[in-house]
Amino acid sequence: MVKFVTLTNGMKNQIPNSISILSLILSCWAIVLIFENKFDIAAYLLIGSCVCDFLDGFTARALKVNNPIGKEIDSLIDMVAFGVAPGMLLYQFTKSLQETHPVQIITDYPWLLYLAVLIPIFSAIRLAKFNIDTRQTSSFIGLAVPAHASFYIFCVLLYIYPDLPKIIDVNNIVFPIVSNPLIMLTFGVLLSLMLIAEVPMFSLKVKNLKWSENKLPLTFLFLWLILLIFTNIVAMPTIIIIYILWSIIANFKNKSNTVTT
């Protein structure tokens, strides 16, 4: 009986790990496709990695599994899925944009394309800080790597599919942004810095169904759903920018209140 229980617990430990490994497979496959300029399929695979990143943690909590090796595996895979892969995606995507929508400064200084490498560099620092920072148990300090990666994934999809049905047509605003390699690289630099910024960012995890204990994440989720209904997948990168600005403003207000009191 003891052996059976031990085996069962060992198998339970491997379920979240298997989901994490699936995330690694999808992200590695995506990297290969990125350099074949199959950006749409690569983006779908990276979205699959994001789903796996949610499911492995959800499964571990549901099964009440606490496996230190699993935590290390998850962190290492996050580096590939949400650090290396989006960095390569931005590099190859902006390189492709430069061929179809050239910007003079990048033509003069082609090394600017390598700014995309900041994504894996700062993602590595962000993940290392998260692993040892005891302040980030219920919220985040700096932008989380899956949210950061999602910004580039959906910007690429917006470029590839500009004519998706929308109640509010924002193509005239969105397409000039996602088709400009310099703007996309600028986002790469600024958002990478947000990975390591000492800015508290609230968690979007809903702890229970009580409104009083989940006002902020539920309000934010409602805002995202409204944007999704009216602007389709434009809502995805937009909500990430709103999330960052919201967190910066809230942090500034908290500091001002602290100084005042």
* DSSP single-letter state for residue 205: -
| Cβ 150 vs Cβ 77: under 8 Å | no
Separation between Cα atoms, residue 86 and residue 64, nearest integer Å: 31
Q: pTM for this structure? A: 0.89
Structural domain including 125 reads 2-254
Band of pLDDT at residue 207, cut at 50, 70 and 90 = low
Domain-located, residue 83:
yes
Within a domain: 260: no
Total number of domains in the chain: 1
What pLDDT score was predicted for residue 4? 44
Give whichever of 67-76, 124-133, 203-212 has the largest mean pLDDT: 124-133
SS3 (DSSP) at 141? strand
Return the DSSP state at 201: E
Contacts of 129-133 with CB under 8 Å at 24 or more apart are: 129/196, 130/75, 131/75
If we measure between CA atoms, which residue out of 232, 214, 235 comes closest to residue 223?
A: 235
Does residue 261 sit within a domain?
no
Distance CA 180, CA 101 (A): 7
Whether 259 maps to a domain, the answer reads no
Is 75 within the bounds of a domain?
Answer: yes
Alpha helix (H) ranges present in the chain? 2-34, 39-62, 68-79, 85-100, 104-108, 118-132, 145-160, 171-178, 181-196, 215-231, 235-260
Work out the average pLDDT over 213-221: 80
* Distance in angstroms (rounded) separating the CA atoms of residues 116 and 187: 10
Decide if 186 is inside a domain.
yes
Of the candidate ranges 79-93, 104-118, 135-149, 171-185, the one whose mean pLDDT is the lowest: 135-149
Q: Looking at the DSSP assignment, which residues form a beta bridge with residue 91? A: none
Inside any domain, residue 207:
yes
User: d(Cα 199, Cα 194) in Å, to the nearest integer?
Assistant: 8
163, part of any domain: yes
- The enclosing domain of 56 has a CATH number of 1.20.120
pLDDT tens-digit profile of 57-78? 778 777 777 777 777 888 899 9
